[in-house]
Amino acid sequence: MYDKNRPSRPRKAVSSSPDRPERSAKPASQPAAPARTGREQRFSCPVAAHCGGCQLSRMSYAEQLRHKQQVVQELLGGLCPVEEIIGMADPYHYRGKVHAVLSTDKRGIPYSGVYAMGTHRVVPVKNCLIEDKRADRIIQTIVSMLPRYKLRIYNEYTHRGFLRHILVRTANVTGQVMVVLVATGREFPGGKAFVAELVKTHPEITTVVLNVNTRETSMVLGKTETALYGPGYMEDELCGKRFRISPQSFYQVNLRQTEVLYRTAIEYAGLTGGETLLDAYCGTGTIGLCASDHVRKLIGVELNADAVRDAKENARLNGVSNARFFCDDAGRFMVRMAQEGQPLDVLIMDPPRAGSDEKFLSSVLTLRPPKVVYVSCNPETLARDAEYLVQGGYRAVKAVPVDMFPCTEHVETVMLFTRPDA
Ligand code: SAH
């Protein structure tokens, strides 16, 4: 029986969201430069203890990699060989998605930073070891402009004020930058002049979006959006394909390492050109579209409607004509595929931290695709789901950890399953 709450082995890695490990803080006055060079250097972030985003910041990068290897080895080593972790050549400033928390000091002057661990007190941060430097600079510019434009920061206790959050996404290959201003209303007094000054100061910004979030929740983004400058989305390239990313769509945060991850998954899939491939939990279709030249037919399924819209647009943008994307719960979709007995050669699945569910996995056992490549951001739920697949007749062939989140305890893993009877 599939028990989604059962951790398969003792817990090692304790995690928040890999999509959003909290920002690692560093006072403005102290440079973020490492003390030594190479993988033995220490990260030495003085406010790591307050921030809590970089749980492994006391370790050198080499130690971090060894630690992550061991975590994955303990969880999956009983099922298959675990290959050597793929680390980053440069493990700094890799986060292409930066979310600034705002506050005001005693004099009412705004600043940005991180929540002190376990509180809603904001520790000032001007630059961070793991965030994209362009994003941090843009956030500082925006914060410094607020008093002149008399833009008030939202107060979560009184529910007054205008600007709630700043979100900056930076593309890796195209260099495009998307700024999302999350505010409490559509009315943006002085908005035109504000945006004009911002893009003049930072010509690298290719779009500015106003996102309206009136809800009293911890969700960062609201549903309503207006493009104040540029097209309202950004474009980037991965594995030679171009991708459109909307403010609400999932896009990997470590883009430099994403190509490595995708290439590993595609290599594990061993595609020969004749296959039907299902990219489940496909987001904006990135993995499947990167593999689309090597398959006969690509099917993508994803729950987030914005991401599916982006996936369809991405297929068009790249002239990919063998792909179809569906907005649905992956489990429900898989059940239907199994009921209809649709042919499936390779399944690549990349579920969120909670892992997959029984609906999905039991249908995998019914459909019996000869190959399953599981891309996971949580080795604990991967181990649980892997055991289910193995009990259902799959062979766990190999796994490899990929370090997508240096300095944090998160680790991505790619794992291959085959059917001995295929
Ligand atoms: N493969 C993509 C996205 C991975 S993140 C990439 O590499 O960018 C996991 C994705 O699963 C998110 O886009 C999320 O919206 C989606 N998701 C979460 N629950 C789902 C469900 N029940 N059915 C389908 N998709 C789901």
pLDDT in tens, 265-276: 999 999 999 999
Q: Which pLDDT band, with edges at 50, 70 and 90, does 98 fall under?
A: very high
- Averaged confidence pLDDT in the chain: 89
What tens digit of pLDDT does each residue of 138-171 get? 999 999 999 999 999 998 888 899 999 999 999 9
Q: What is the DSSP string of 362-408?
A: HHHHHH--SEEEEEES-HHHHHHHHHHHHHTT-EEEEEEEE-SSTTS
Give the pLDDT of residue 49. Answer: 75
Between the alpha carbon of residue 232 and those of residues 27, 46, 244, the distances in Å are 32, 37, 10
User: Which residue among 243, 281, 381 has the greatest number of ligand 1 atoms within 8 angstroms of its CB, and so is best to mutate?
Assistant: 281
Question: Residue written as tokens 């190479």?
Answer: 38
282 CB near ligand 1 (under 6 Å): yes
Residue 325 in 3-state DSSP? strand
Helix (H) or strand (E) holding 345: none
Closest ligand 1 atom number to CA of residue 249 = 13
- The answer to whether the CB of 19 is under 6 A from ligand 1 is no
Given a cut of 70, is residue 10 above it in pLDDT? no
Centroid of ligand 1 to alpha carbon of 408 (angstroms) = 21
Is any atom of ligand 1 closer than 6 Å to the C-beta of 377? no
Helix axes 358-367, 330-340, angle to 10 degrees: 30
329 lines ligand 1 (CB under 6 A): yes
Q: How confident is the model at residue 309 (pLDDT cuts 50, 70, 90)?
A: very high
pLDDT one-digit tens code per residue, 21-73: 333 333 333 334 444 456 777 777 767 777 778 888 889 999 999 999 999 99
Query: From ligand 1's centre to the CA of 43, what distance in Å?
Result: 31
Question: Which residues, 6+ apart, have CB-to-CB distance to 33 below 8 Å?
Answer: none
User: C-alpha dihedral over 181, 182, 188, 192, to 10 degrees?
Assistant: 10
Least confident window among 50-59, 73-82, 209-218, 292-301: 50-59
How many whole angstroms from 281 Cα to the centroid of ligand 1? 4
Q: Is the CB of 303 under 6 A from ligand 1?
A: yes
pTM: 0.87
Nearest CA to ligand 1 atom 20: 303
User: What pLDDT, on a 0 to 100 scale, did the predictor assign at position 346?
Assistant: 98
> Catalytic amino acids?
377
User: What pLDDT, on the 0 to 100 scale, is given for residue 14?
Assistant: 30
pLDDT of amino acid 382: 98
151 lines ligand 1 (CB under 6 A): no
Atom of ligand 1 nearest to the CA of 304: 15
Ligand 1 mean position, distance from CA 41 (Å): 35
What is residue 115's predicted lDDT score, i.e. its pLDDT? 82
Binning pLDDT at 50, 70 and 90, where does residue 5 land? low
Q: How many A from CA of 220 to the centre of ligand 1?
A: 18
Q: Say yes or no to pLDDT of 392 above 60.
A: yes
Q: Whose CA is nearest to atom 12 of ligand 1?
A: 283
Pick 378 or 125 by higher pLDDT: 378
Strand ranges of the sheet holding 97-104, from the earlier edge strand across to the other edge:
122-124, 110-115, 97-104, 163-170, 177-183, 205-212, 224-229
Q: What is the pLDDT of residues 310-342, one digit of tens each?
A: 999 999 999 999 999 999 999 999 999 999 989
From 85, 81, 83, 84, select the one nearest 395 (Cα to Cα): 81
